[in-house]
Amino acid sequence: MKTIELLEIKDINDKLKEFDNYGGRIDFKIFKLDKKTSEYDSHLLTARNSILELQKNSHYFKIDFDENKMNESGNKISVEEFLGPLFDFKLKKPILRGFTNLNNLFYFDSKEINENIVNIRDFEHYKNNTSELYTIGFAQAFLDPVHGFRVSNNIFETGKYFIDFCEFLFSDLNKIEILKWNTDCSNYFDDGKEWWGTHFWTVYNPIKNYYIGILASDTD
């Protein structure tokens, strides 16, 4: 086996294509690694090869990559920080922008009525060096891209899809290992720096024993 190999498996490819068709704007790259590789180097290889895969398949612009800006930048983060404020980790529920009440947030399994509006009071907990940007965490990047993400015409089906997708990709959120990387390493992330946000994570799923590169950058 090579040190790292891109996983090309039909059920994974079908799931990622389905996500794209619903309006998703996150790039996922999934790899198998040689177990002899250290923890940090495994994540580093995943991050590096995720960018290289994007370079190979870019049809719109040339993707540049400065490895020096990425190599020492990986920092381990908690699953709560990774998911962000639009996922209630205690209740295991995503919080979505309403479909009929666009200016407010709701738990995915509630009705879009005023008494069910969720006020996120702990956004400060998630502030970081890109705090001026709109999108914070994986849940918001997944569920709220610039041009919308919709599985059906109700928030329940969209929220349920998010939960099912996480179970498919991560298996058990309590067991995954996450590193966050510097998004100054590539022009892939330039668009998101306008306002929406930029994200670059690597995640290890110990149950399925694979590594996932997760990259996102969006603009209108």
pLDDT digits (tens, 9 = 90+) for 48-70: 999 999 999 877 779 999 999 99
- For the chain, the domain total comes to 1
Name the band, by pLDDT with cuts 50, 70 and 90, for residue 121.
Answer: low
What share of the chain has pLDDT > 90, as a percent?
79
The DSSP element (H or E) to which 54 belongs, if any, is helix 39-57
What lies within 8 Å, CB to CB, of 67 at 6+ separation is: 48, 185
Examine the pLDDT at 132 and tell me if it is beyond 80.
no
The pTM of this model reads 0.93
Domain residues for the domain of 121 are: 4-217
What lies within 8 Å, CB to CB, of 45 at 6+ separation is: 3, 4, 31, 33, 37, 211
Examine the pLDDT at 127 and tell me if it is beyond 70.
no
Examine the pLDDT at 203 and tell me if it is beyond 60.
yes
Which pLDDT tens digit goes with each residue over 145-201?
Answer: 999 898 988 999 999 999 999 999 999 999 999 999 999 999 999 999 999 999 999
Q: Could you tell me which of 25, 5, 2, 7 has the C-alpha nearest to residue 169?
A: 7
What share of the chain has pLDDT > 70, as a percent?
93
Which of helix, strand or coil describes residue 74?
coil
